[in-house]
Structure 1
Amino acid sequence: MRIIFIILIVLVGKAEAQTSALAISDSLYALGNYEEAILELKSFEPKTEAVFVRLAKANEASGDWDTALEYYHKILVQNPNRVLTAINYGELLQKVGDIKAADSLFTNLSIAYPKNASFQYRLGEIKESKGDSISIEFFRKAIALDTTHQQALFKVAKYELAHSNYPLAKKFAKMGLEKNPKNVSLLSILAQTYYNQQYYRAAMEQFEKIVALGKGNEFVYNKLGMCFYRSFQYEEAIENFKECLKFEDRNSETHYNLGKLYAIIGDFQKSEIELLMAILIKKQPVDAEFLSLALAYKGLEDYKNMLKYTEAALEENPDNERALYEKAIAADNYFKDITSKIQYYQNYVNSYSQNGNPSLIELAQSRISDLKKEQHLQVENQN
C-alpha cells in the first residue's frame, strides 16, 4: 500500500511539473518567443498529445511549416477524432499549396460533420484556388447551413455583383451586415452594388461607413468622389478626389476628374494645373485631357492656349469631333481675319456634316452665316 501511495505521489508530482512547464511554454508562445517555446516543449519526456499540439502550433507560427505538418499528422494518426487539429492541419495544407491533400481532408470532415458550414466553406476555397467554378456551390451550401457565415456571404455576394445580379448581391451583403454591421468587405459589396445601379446617394452612405471605420483607401475615396460628382455635389467630390491623391498622387484619372470639377465650379487656374498633371502622367492617348484643358483655357478667355490644346487633342485623336469644333471657336476668338475664321468652321462642317453632332453642326453653320454677313459688311464699308 505504501509503495502504491509513493507511486501516486510521484505521478502527481510529474503531472504538476508538466502542467507548470506547459504554462511556461504557453507564455513564451503568447509573447511571440516561438523558438524558446519550441525548445521548452522539446525537453518534455514523455511527449503527450498536448505537447505535440503545442509543438505543431509553435512551428507553424515560427514559419517552419514542414515540421508543423509533421506534428499535426502525428497527432491525427494517434487520435483521428481531434477535429480542431484536423482543421489546423487542413488550413496549413492550403497555405503550403498542397491543395489535393487539403481537399481530401476537408471532404472527409464534411462527410463526418455534414452540418458544419465551415467545412463547406473550406472546400469552396480549395475549389476556387483551382479555378473550379463549382466553388460557388460550396459557398452556397455553407450559407444554407449558417446564414450568418461572413466569409461565405462575402464570396456569394461578390459573385452575384460580378454577374450583375444586383438584387442577390444586396440580399447576401445585407444578410451578413445584420450579424456584423462593421464588416468592411460586405459594406464594400453593398456600396458597389448601389453604385453600379446608379443609386449614388445609397452608395455614398455605405462608402462613408467604410471611411468612418478607418478603412478608407484610394478605391473608396474614388468611388465617393464619383458619387458626389454624379449627385452634383462638386465641392464634396473635389475633397474626396484630393483624398485619393494621398494614396496615389500619380493617378492621371484622379487629376483629370479634379480638372473637370474645378472647371465646373469656375476655378480654371486649378483646373489647368490638374489637367496638365493628368496629361503629364498618362502614357496612352490623352485627347480627352487635352480637350478638357482647352476648355479650361476657354473659361479663362486664353484663346491662344485654347487653340494650342485643341490642336494637341486632334494630334492624339484626329477623329475627336468636339476638339475640331472647339478649335474653330478658339480660332474665331483668336484670329482677326474673317476668312480664316470661316475656314475653321467650314473645315469642321465638311468633316462631320454626314455623321456629326447635329447641334454642333447647326451652331457652326449659323456662325459661318454670321461671319459671311460680317465679311460682306466690311467689303461694303471699304467701298
Structure 2
Amino acid sequence: MITRIIFSLCFFSTFTLFPQKGNFQVADSLATVGKNTEAIELLKQTDPKTGKIYLRLAQIQKSIDQNDQALENYQKVLELNPALVLAAQEYGELLLESGKLDKADSLFSSLSEKYPDNAGFLYRIGLAKEKKKDSSAMDYFFKTVGLDSTHQAALYKTAKYELKHRKPHNAIHLSSTGLESRPNNASLLSILGQAYLATLQFEEAAKPFERLLELGEGSEFILERLASAYRRSGQTDKAIQIYNKMLEIDNMNGMVHTNLGVLHLKKDNTKKAQEHFMMALFIKNRPSDTEFLNLGLVYKRKEDFRSAYISFQKALEENPENERAMIELALTADGHFEDKQAVLELYQDFVVKYAEYGRKDMLSIAEYRISELKKEIHLSK
C-alpha cells in the first residue's frame, strides 16, 4: 500500500512538474518501461485527443492484446488523418491478426490501388484471401514476387506452392532467388532441399540440409531428408552418421533401423545389418515383408541359407505380392537345395505370376533357370 502511494505521488509530481512536456511524452516513457496500464490511462485522460494520441494509444493497447480497443483507436486515427499510411498498415495487420479478414482485404486493396508499387500491400491482400480460403490468394503472392524479387515471405509461399504442385524446378528457382538476399532463411533452405530431392539431384539436395544443421535446425524432418540425400547419392558413411543421429532422438524409429540395416548390408557389415533389421521387426506391431526380405538378404550374405529361405518365406506370408522375395526364395533354393523339381516349381510360379508386369531382369533369370533345370531333371532320369 505504501509503495502504491509513493508511486502515485511520484507519478502526479512528474505530471505537475512537467506540464509543458505533455501527456504524450510521459505516457510514452511509461510504456517504454512496461507500465502500459498507466500509460493508457494517462492518454485516455488527455483532452483534446489528436491523431498522434489515438495512434500511440492503439499501439500500446495492441502490445498488451487489447485488440478490440486498439482497432477502435486506429479507426479514429484514420478518421482524423486518412493519409497516415503506416497507421493504416498497422490497422490492417491487426485486422488480419484479429480475424477481421474482409475488412483487412478491403483496406489493403485500397492501399494497393493508391500505392501500386508497394509489394507489402499485395502480400497482405494475399494473406487475407488465404485465411478466407480464397483460391486467388496465390495470385497475389506471385504478384508480390513480381514486384519485389527479394520478398522473403512471398518467395516462401510461392516456392512451397510450386513444390506441392509438382513443379520442383520452379521451386528451386524461387527459393534460390530468396536465398541470394538472405542465405540463412531456414524456410527457403528447406524448400530448396526438398525440391532438389524431387528432381533427383541428391548431391545438391544435401547442401541446404547441411546448412540447416549448421544453423541449429536439427529436427527429425531435416535429418531424415539429409540422410535420404546422402543414401541416394551413394554417400553411405554420411547417411549412416545422420541415421544414427536420428536414433539419438528416437531409438524406436523402425524406418531408421531398416535404412541402417540396408546401408550396413551394402558395406558388407552383416552383423550390424542383422541387428538393425531385427530391431525394426521388434518395433513394428506387425512385422512387414520388407524387414523379412532384408533379413533374408543378410542371412544369404552370411551363407546361412536355411535362415535366408525361412525369412523369404515369411516375407511372402506377410505380402504375397513381394516380387523380390519370391525370386530370392527360388534363387536360395536353387543354389542349396537338392530337390530340383521343387526349385523348378518355384521359378515356374514366379514366371506365371509376373509374366505380364514383372521386372524383366528377374523374369530373364527365372526363365533361364527353368530351361536349365528341365535339362538337369531330364538327364538325371
User: Normalising by the residue count of structure 2, what TM-score does the alignment of the two structures yield?
Assistant: 0.81
- From 274, 283, 293, the equivalent of 1:291 is 293
Q: What is the aligned partner in structure 2 of residue 200 from structure 1?
A: 202
Which letter maps to 2:315?
A
Number of positions where the alignment pairs a residue of Structure 1 with one of Structure 2: 363
Aligned-partner residue type, residue 93 of structure 2: E
- Tell me which of 265, 275, 283 is aligned to 1:263: 265
Q: Secondary structure at the match of 1:132?
A: coil
Q: Structure 1 residues 139 and 363, CA, compared in 2 at 3 Å: closer, same or farther? A: closer
Match of 2:32 in 1: 26
Matches within 5 A, 1:55-134: 55-134=57-136
Distance of 2:132 and 2:286 partners within structure 1: 35
**Aligned-residue offset at 1:312:** 2.2
Cα shift at 1:337 = 5.3
- SS in structure 1 opposite 2:33? helix
| Residue 329 (structure 2) pairs with residue 324 (structure 1) | no
Change (3 A) 1:50 1:259: farther
Q: 2:5 matched to 1:16?
A: no
Answer whether contact 1:38 1:55 (CA < 8 A) is retained: no
Distance 1:340 1:61, change over 3 A: same
- The answer to which of 161-170 and 186-195 deviates more is 161-170
Of 138-147 and 106-115, deviating more is 138-147
> 1:236 is matched with which residue?
238
Counterpart code for 2:31: S
Query: Cα gap change, 1:302/1:134 in structure 2, threshold over 3 Å: closer, same or farther?
Result: same
Contact 2:27–2:42 (Cα < 8 Å) also in 1: no
Q: Is the 8 A contact 1:297 1:306 kept in 2?
A: yes
Amino acid at match of 1:119: F
Q: Does the 8 Å CA contact 2:31/2:60 hold for their aligned counterparts?
A: no
Q: Deviations over 1:11-64 (max 9, x none)?
A: 993242632442122121xxxxxxx41234213421644454344334333333
In the other structure, the counterpart of 2:178 is 176
Change (3 A) 1:53 1:274: farther
Partners in 1 of 2:69 and 2:279 — Cα distance?
Answer: 53
Distance apart, 1:306 and its partner CA = 2.2
How far 1:214 sits from its partner (Å)?
1.9
1:135 equivalent among 134, 137, 161: 137
1:201-254 deviations in Å (ceiling 9; x for gaps)? 222222222222222322222222122112211011111222334455444433
Aligned AA (1:116):
N
CA contact (8 A) 2:126 2:137 kept: yes
Relative to 1, partners in 2 of residues 1:275 and 1:55: Cα closer, same or farther, differing over 3 Å? farther
Asked if the contact 2:62–2:70 (Cα under 8 Å) also holds between the matched residues in 1, the reply is yes
- Which residue identity does 1:255 align to in structure 2? H
Moved more, 142-151 or 54-63: 54-63
| AA in 2 matched with 1:13 | F
Q: Deviations over 1:300-353 (max 9, x none)?
A: 333343233222221222122221222234445675656555554454455445
Q: Take 2:80 and 2:151, find their aligned partners in 1: how far apart are those partners?
A: 32
Question: Does the 8 Å contact 1:218/1:243 carry over to 2?
Answer: no
1:241 & 1:210 partners in 2: Cα distance? 16
Closer/same/farther in 2, CA of residues 349 and 269 from structure 1, 3 Å limit = same
CA distance in 2, matches of 1:376, 1:166: 57
One-letter amino acid matched to 1:152: A
When the two structures are superposed, what TM-score results if normalisation uses the length of structure 1?
A: 0.81
Q: 1:248, 1:199 → 2: CA distance?
A: 28
Q: What are the superposed Cα offsets for residues 73-112 of structure 1, whole Å, 9 maximum, x if unpaired?
A: 3333333333222222222221222211111111121122
Q: Give the letter aligned to residue 313 of structure 1.
A: A
Counterpart of 1:156 (choices 158, 179, 183) is 158
SS of the equivalent of 2:83 reads coil
Deviating more after overlay: 113-122 vs 123-132: 123-132
CA distances 1:256-309 after superposition (whole Å, capped 9, x unpaired): 222211111112232223333444555688322321222122223333432332
Q: Distance in 2 between matches of 1:180 and 1:333?
A: 59
Percent of aligned pairs with the same amino acid: 39
The answer (yes or no) to whether the contact 2:57–2:73 under 8 Å persists in 1 is: yes
User: What does residue 8 of structure 2 align with?
Assistant: none
Amino acid of the residue matched to residue 120 of structure 1? Answer: L
Query: Which runs of 5 or more residues in structure 1 are unaligned?
Result: 1-9, 29-35
Tell me: CA distance 1:359–1:151, structure 2 relative to 1, closer, same or farther (3 Å): closer
Contact 1:303 1:330 in 2 (8 A): yes
The yes-or-no answer on 1:188 pairing with 2:190 is yes
Q: How does 1:48-59 map to 2 (within 5 A)?
A: 48=49, 49-59=51-61
TM-aligned CA deviation for residue 120 of structure 1: 0.4
Q: Which residue is equivalent to 2:46?
A: 46
SS at match of 2:227: helix
- 2:9 paired residue number: none
User: How far has the Cα of 1:367 moved from its partner?
Assistant: 5.2
Change (3 A) 1:43 1:240: same
CA contact (8 A) 1:41 1:51 kept: no
Unaligned runs of 5+ in 2: 1-14
Q: In the alignment, is the contact (CA less than 8 A) between 1:173 and 1:186 conserved in 2? A: yes
